A and B are shown apart, each in its own frame.
Chain A
């Protein structure tokens, strides 16, 4: 069983929802990323989603786009993201980590080379925004060989038949995109999400996490009522960037992101009580 599946199994047993923070590797600066990952774990993260910076992040809203641009200005590459993962793993062998990014850097490194290097650094899963099921076979072959999960997106526009096509190739969990739009958009409709999750569960027993548009404890709690996990990205990227823009140092940025995640964790955990 993969570290991601094992983590969901443990959470289910404890009646706890997965909290999955997303940060851009190397943002606001490369030296911040590993300590920030540890802080996120201390603040209640169950799985960490690490964004791989790309020059053309088509699915991202302005907040995460700027995170990608800042990381690229620091010269962060796919290789340096793997180096960060290795450093993280020296102190944390348990928290599942997945990379979220775009096809080109992976393809440029070569799928087989990437997967072998990533497996050696302890990567658990991969979510590639622009590799839908139609284009996924080549990289899936490599991921399967390494026992790594491929996390797929399902969107509000995905019809039933496609859901089946996607879940048949997915492992670890399903990432449901809560709205039509880019990351960080502000028009989350929880009732609609609940309705769609019921559709997905008709086709798959995989856990379903929900992302896009979740920015605080209240929206996280509302989504956690119906989902197995909650992804929070833009809000964390934004709060850390704001601290730095206001003249704060790395420790202050890490504190700000950690505190926000902690508040969200508490919001989600209220459901059980």
Chain B
């Protein structure tokens, strides 16, 4: 950690304008501004409201199944060599990923605001499923926007959302992936802002979303921190998480930010390699700009057009990243690195075979980097990897790469 960083900074971001250093903010059309102000005002009040917090905690315990275990992957650690590796098992949450931590929180906000309808964008489908799930439980109408290309890649999750009663809208504009689904969700929100709550799935979007999604996901890091003190007897030496928009990573990292001895690695999707045009690694190979309501690192052309991205995992296939990550990169608190498609795939197979845990392809990027990192560390040292989701949804993708038709 940079010695010049004032540790108390981590408590005060974002500022009242929603800025993390020079990132974040509220770059949206005027029609949405009062909805964002209303949301922020309510959220700031409810985040200190005991009844709201205890309702949230109750849901996390009895509906999501928290706390999620911290599991020591002995056999996988032995295979990769070096440090002891622990997995934070977000894949065991209800709906199979970390996404539900946030949708529960936002759905409660929607309920307190009296909204009858929720909308969401989704890439891999995990956030869409998590939103549809909560909508079913609370009796809210739910519409999920999903790129045509992602609908093809994630047929299983599309069907799950439909079973849950959600309407899945195929987005055919632009690159037909997550960024276009987010554009379309914004357009719907502008039109139906009176009765609709927009459940954003990651720590991006206009303020207050990056802040409130982070806060809801911090349960991951709070638990992991307490569990490591009990199970390891001290804090871990390193944390590793994949970064698309970055919600599972910020959820794990944030409660450790002031622990200067804990190193942090956010793993972006290297696709076919960051030296090609086919990747999704804006922090590694992009530059700052404005997309979807916030200033952050983006994949963009020389003319400031947003570029199409590539990743084997639909959930990381996004040209932007949460503004807090942009700030954490610039101040040097978190290291942002990449794992390519083939490395993620190899990690997927290895973990499945030696631990009997099938990781999501998104989480497999974190595993791939953790394997590299562990090999350079000693057996006295420890790493926590956020296993952000389960891999069942990716079986078709993996099978197709292996030349198998299911």
Contact = CB atoms under 8 A, between A and B. Distances in A.
Interface of A: 54-62, 65, 69, 72, 77-79, 102-109, 129-132, 134-135, 152-159, 162, 166, 177, 180-182, 185
Contact of B30 (A57, A77, A79, A158): A158
Nearest to A103: B290
B26 interface: yes
Interface residues of B, number: 38
A108 B30 CA distance: 22
B304 interface: yes
Contact of B306 (A56, A130, A162): A56
Nearest to A177: B31
The 10 closest A-B pairs by CB, nearest first: A108-B304, A105-B304, A77-B303, A155-B31, A181-B191, A103-B290, A153-B30, A55-B305, A155-B30, A130-B27
A258 B348 CA distance: 59
20 contacts: A56-B174, A56-B291, A57-B183, A59-B190, A62-B173, A102-B290, A103-B290, A105-B304, A108-B289, A108-B303, A130-B290, A134-B26, A135-B26, A153-B29, A153-B30, A155-B31, A158-B33, A180-B190, A181-B190, A182-B191
Given A157-B34, A181-B191, A130 B303 contact: no
Contacts of A154: 30
A69 B304 CA distance: 15
A107 B304 CA distance: 8
B305 A157 contact: no
B179 interface: yes
A58 to B, nearest CB: 5
Contacts of A109: 304
A77 to B, nearest CB: 4
Contacts of A153: 29-31
B304 A104 contact: yes
Contacts of A54: 305
Nearest to B306: A55
A105 B35 CA distance: 26
A108 B290 CA distance: 9
Given A103-B290, A108-B289, A157 B31 contact: yes
